[in-house]
Amino acid sequence: MSEITDFDSLRRAMAENGEQPEGPARNARAEQLLVEAERLDIPLAVIEALGHQLKVYNYSSEKAKMFVPFARLLRMWDERPEDFDEYETHSLHWVFKWMSAGMLDQPHVPLASVEKWLGEMEHRYRLAGHSTRAVRSAEFSVAAHVGDVERAERAFSAWLAADRDTMADCHACELHGQGWWQAERGRDAEALALWAPVLEGEYTCAHEPHTVLASSLVPLLRLGRPEEARANHLRGFRLVRSMESMRGAYADHVEFCALTGNEARGLELLAERPAYFTDEGHPHSKLEFLSVVVLLMERLSELGLAGQRVPGPAGREWTAPELAEHARVEALALAARFDERNGTSYVSERARARMAQQPLVERLPLGVRAARPTSAVAAATGAAAPAPVQEAVEPDLAVLLAEAQRLSDTLQPHAVEAWARVARLAEEVDGVELDARDRAEIADHEAIGLGPDGAAAFEHAAELYARAGDPGEALAARARAAYVRALTGEIDEALAAVAEPYDRVLALYAEGDTEVPQAAGVLMGRARILMRRVHEAEGEVVDEAVLAEAEAAVRELLALVEGRAGTDVRLAARVAEGHAMLAELATHSGNPQAGAELFARAAAEFLATGLPWFAVEYEARLAGLAHQLGDMREAERALRAALEHGGPYLEAVGRAQLHLQLAEVVGGRGDAEEAAEHALESAHWADEAGAGPTLGAWARHQLGGFLMRQGRWAEAAEVLESALAELTAETHGDGAVVQTQWWLGDCLSELGEHRDAAERRLQAAEIARHWPEQHDHATLAHLAAESLGQAGLPTEADQAYARAGELWRGLGNVHGLVRSLRARAWLALRTEDGTDAARDLMASAVEECADAFDAADDDEARLRLVSELGHTHRQFGDLLARSAAEDADDDSIRATLEEALSQMAEAVAVFVALGEATVHARTGAELAAGWLETDLGRPAAAAARARAVLRAYADAEADNDPDAYGGSDEDGEHGTVRARRAEAEQLLQAAEEQMDR
C-alpha cells in the first residue's frame, strides 16, 4: 500500500482503490484515505476524498453511509464554493440524485425529509442552471415507490419532456428506469423496446446492461420469449455475480430460476451470496432479495422437496419451509417499515405478490449444470419417492384386462404397466381368480420389466402358458428366458437353453399344433441370441461362421413371417426387426452401404406398422452409417426422424444422445444457431437422466463452442465454466478439457476479462505441454502472453512470449517466433529504460525473417516471409517513433525519428514488391512515413507520400469492385479505402501548410 505524501499520491491511491472489488475492504480504504487527505491540509484533497468515499459507498452494500460525507461536502460548498474545481462542482450536483434515491431506500428516513430533499435538489439545480430532467426523474422514483400512480405518470411525462443536460443520468440508466415503469404497468413489449439499445450494447455504464438484463427476465417470460430470457440470464448473471452492490439485480436472477424450473440453479445462486441474507446497508434490496427467497423456497415445497437442505443465513442448517418462513417474516417486517414511512400499503402488496408468483415456464433448459434438487429423505435413499397415483374412479378388472391385452397385442408403450395394474387389482379384490392365460401374460410382462433379471419370471410364464393350453407360447416364453441369459453374457448357455424350444416349436408348427406368431417368437429368440454373439465381438474381427449362423437364423425367421403378417402388428414387427438384424450383419461384414439401406427399410416398416417408437433405434443407427459414408444430409434426416418418432417415449439419455449427434451434424454444415439449440437440449436431457457429469458435460462443451461461433461470448463463458466443473481427461479426454479452456479463454478475452483469460489459457497450455505435437502448446502460450499483457502484467507477459518463442522456434514456425519477438519489444518499451531492449528485440525479429527467407526453398513460403518482414519493419518504425522521449534533446529526438523513417521506408519497399495483394499495408506504412517526414520538417517528401496513397486508391471508389485490393464487398474493406484517402488528404494539407509557413 503506497504512502500518501502529497496530493498526487493521494489521487493515485484513490484511483487504485477505485479499481478494487466492491465491498467493505474498499470502503474501509476510502475512509482511511479521507484521513490522509485531511492531513495534507488541502481543501480540494478533502473534497476529492469525500467524493471518492461517496462513490465506493454507493457501489456497495453500505449505501446508508453516503449521507454523512455528502452532508459534509454540501456544507463545504455552501461555505467556500471556490474550493471546488469544475469537476468536483459537477460531481457534487450529480450525487444529489444518489442521495434522493438513497433516502428512499432507507425506511428510517421520513417521507417528508425525502420530499424536502427533492425540493432542495430542484432549488440548487435551478441556481446552477441545470435542467429539471434529473429532478423530475427523482420525483418519479418517489411517486412510484409509494404507489402514487397518478403522480408517477405526471412526473414520468415531465421527465421525458425536460431537456437532457449534464445532470441527466446516462442514456443506459434512463432507459432502464423508463422501461422498468412500463413493465410495472404491464406494458412488457414497450419496456423491451425501450431497453433494446442497452441490451444491444449501444448504451452502457458501470451498472448497465447489468440491471436491464436482470429486469428484462420476467417481462420476456411473460411475453413468451424464453430463449431471450435464458440468454439474458446467462449474460447478466456474469455481470452481477461479483458486484456486491447489485443485490436487487441478483434477486431478479434468483426469481428467474424459480419461475423457469431451475430451482437447483437458484439454490446455487443463494449459496454464492450468504451475506445477502444479512447485509443491512440497503434495506430495499434486502427486501427484494428475501422476497424471491420465499418464492424459491415455496416452489421447492410445491415440488415435494420440503426436506431439501438449502443455503441460508450462516449459523444453522435450513430446510426450505424453515427458510421460507424466516425470509417471509423478515421481508414483510421490512415492507411494513417502508409502508409506515410512506403511509401506504404498496410495498407490502408488491412483496406479497412477488412471493406468490407461479412458474411461467415449466422447465427452461439453461445449458449450465442443473440437477433437480432432491429432498433429504430422497437423497438418503438415492431416489425421489414417487408421488402416489390417485384413481379418479373405481377401476373395473375386465376393463383393465381388455386394455392391457390391447396394448400388448399391438406392442404399445406401457403394456408392462397395464398388466401390473391388472395384477394389483386382482390381488386387492376378494374372490377374483384370474385364469392361467391371464396369469401367464402378467408373468410374461413382469419378466419384460425386469430386463436381464427376468429369466425366472419368463420360465414361470412358460409354465402358465402350458397350463393354459398354449404350448407354442410356452416355448416362446422359454426362448425369451434364454435370451435374457444371453444379455448377462451367458451366450453359450443361452444357445443350449433355446435348442430344445427351437426343435419342438418347429415340430409343433409342422404338425399344425401351433401358429406362426408362436413359432416366430421362438425363432426370434434364437436369432437374438446369435446376434448377441456377434455383438460380443464388437471391435474385433467377427468369425465368418458366427456371422453366417446368425444370418441363417434371421433369414429362417423372415422366411416364416414375411408375407404372413397381415394385420398382426407383432408379426409385422418381427419382419422389421429381422431386416434390422440383417443391417447389423451387413455392417459387420464390411458393407455399410447395404447396412444403411436395410436400416432404412426396417425403420420404414416400423412406421408403416404404426410403431414409430421402434424405428428410433434403427434411424439412429442409420444416421451413424450415413455419417460414416459421408452422406451428412441423410444422417441429419435420420436423426430428426428419430427425435420425431421417439416422441414422449424416448428415455432421457437417448434423447440427449440424439440431440448431441444432431448438434454435431448441423454445426458441421455451419448452422451454429440451430446446433446450439440441440446441444442445449442434449445437456438438459443428460441432466434429467443423471448423466450430467458424462454426457451432459460433453454437451455443454459443444454448446459453448456453438455459442462462441455466434459471438455470444458471455453466454458461452457461463456454459463453458459449467462444463469445466465436470469435464475430466479420464472420461472425456484431455483434448476436450484443453479445447474448453481455450474457448473459455477466448470468451473472457472478448469480454475484457484478460487476467482470467490468461489463467485459462495457461491451464490449457500446461496440459498441451505433454502432447507429442507442440503446435497447440505454442499457440496457447502465445495467447496467454497476449492476455497477460492486456491485463497489465508486462513481466509475466514477456516470460510467456519468451516461452512461446522457444516453442515456435522448435517447431520451425518463423511467423510465430517473429510475432512473439515483436510483442516482447512493445512490452519492453513500457518498462523503464526498456528502449534498448525493445530495439534489440525488433532487430532480432528482422533477422529471423531474413534468415528464414534465405533458408526457404518454396516460393509461397518466401512470399509469406517477405510479407512478415514488411510488417516487422513497419512495427519497428512505429516503435522507434513512439520511443522518442519528449524530454530528450532535439538531436536525440531527430536521430530516433530518422531511424523510424528508415524502417518505414523499408516496409514500404517490401510491400511495393509484393504488389496489389498488400496495398493496404503499403499505404498504411506510406502514411506513417509521411507523418514522420512532417515531424522532421520535410513537407515536400510528406506530400509526395500522400499523393502516392491517393494514386493507389484513385480508381477504388469509381470501380466499387468488391474484389479490389484482395478484399471483399464488406463495409470494412471500403471503409479502409475511405479512411486511407481521408488521411492522405489530411497529410497533404498539413504538408502544404508547412511549406507555406
Q: Is 168 left (phi over 0), alpha (psi -120 to 50) or beta?
A: beta
Among the residue ranges 208-212, 374-378, 750-754, 813-817, the one predicted with the least confidence is 374-378
Cα 530 from Cα 458, distance rounded (Å): 19
Residue type, 554: V
Q: What percent of the chain has pLDDT above 90? A: 78
pLDDT at site 430: 73
Q: Which of 391-395, 473-477, 699-703 has the lowest mean pLDDT?
A: 391-395
Strand (E) or helix (H) holding 310: strand 309-310
> What Å distances lie between residue 876 and 74, 832, 840, 893, 895, CA to CA?
54, 19, 10, 16, 15
- Cβ–Cβ under 8 Å, residues 287 and 351: yes
DSSP string, 902-958: HHHHHHHHHHHHHGGGGHHHHHHHHHHHHHHHHHTT-HHHHHHHHHHHHHHTTTHHH
> Could you tell me the pLDDT band of residue 2, with boundaries at 50, 70 and 90?
low
SS3 content of the chain, % helix, strand, coil (to 5): 75, 0, 25
* 72 Cβ contact partners less than 8 Å away, ≥ 6 residues apart: 50
H or E stretch covering 243: none
- pLDDT, one tens digit per residue, over 377-386 is 333 333 333 3
Read off the pTM. Answer: 0.83
Which residue would you say has higher pLDDT here, 244 or 502?
Answer: 502
CB under 8 Å to 603, separation ≥6 — which residues?
576, 615, 618, 619, 622, 638, 641
- Cα dihedral sign for 69, 72, 77, 78? positive
Q: What is the DSSP letter of 696?
A: I
Helices then strands (H, E): number in the chain?
Answer: 49, 2
Taking a C-beta distance cutoff of 8 angstroms, is the pair 597, 566 a contact?
no
In this predicted structure, what is the pLDDT of residue 388? Answer: 38
Between the CA of residue 854 and those of 436, 586, 859, 865, 908, what are the distances in Å?
Answer: 94, 57, 11, 10, 21
Q: What is the pLDDT of residue 833?
A: 64
Confidence of residue 318 (pLDDT cuts 50, 70, 90): very high
pLDDT at res. 421: 94
Contact 618, 606 (CB under 8 A): yes
Determine how β-strand 318-319 pairs with β-strand 309-310: antiparallel
Q: Specify the pLDDT at position 955.
A: 60
| Amino acid (1-letter code) at residue 92 | L
The 10s digit of each residue's pLDDT in 417-448 is 999 999 999 888 777 788 999 999 999 999 99
Q: Are 722 and 702 in contact (CB under 8 A)?
A: no
Which distant-in-sequence residues (6+ apart) come within 8 Å of 681 by Cβ? 365, 655, 656, 659
pLDDT, tens digit (0-9, with 9 covering 90-100), for 810-832: 999 999 999 999 999 999 988 76
User: Hunting for cell 502432447 — which residue is that?
Assistant: 771
Q: Which pLDDT belongs to residue 969?
A: 45
Answer for the pair 934, 989: CB distance below 8 angstroms, yes or no. Answer: no
How far is residue 668's CA from residue 623's CA, in Å, rounded to a whole number? Answer: 14
DSSP 132: S
Half-sphere exposure in the Cβ direction for 724 (13 Å, CA): 20
Expressed in angstroms, the distance from the first to the final Cα of the chain is: 52
Integer Cα distance of 805 and 807 in angstroms: 5
Burial class for 783, CB neighbours closer than 10 Å (0-12, 13-18, 19+):
buried
Handedness of CA 872, 878, 881, 883 (dihedral sign): negative
* Residue 924 pLDDT > 50: yes
163: helix, strand or coil: coil
Per-residue pLDDT reduced to its tens digit, 78-127: 899 999 999 999 898 888 888 877 889 899 999 999 999 899 999 999 99
Nearest in space to 927 (alpha carbons), one of 996, 965, 854, 976: 976
The stretch 661-688 carries a mean pLDDT of 95
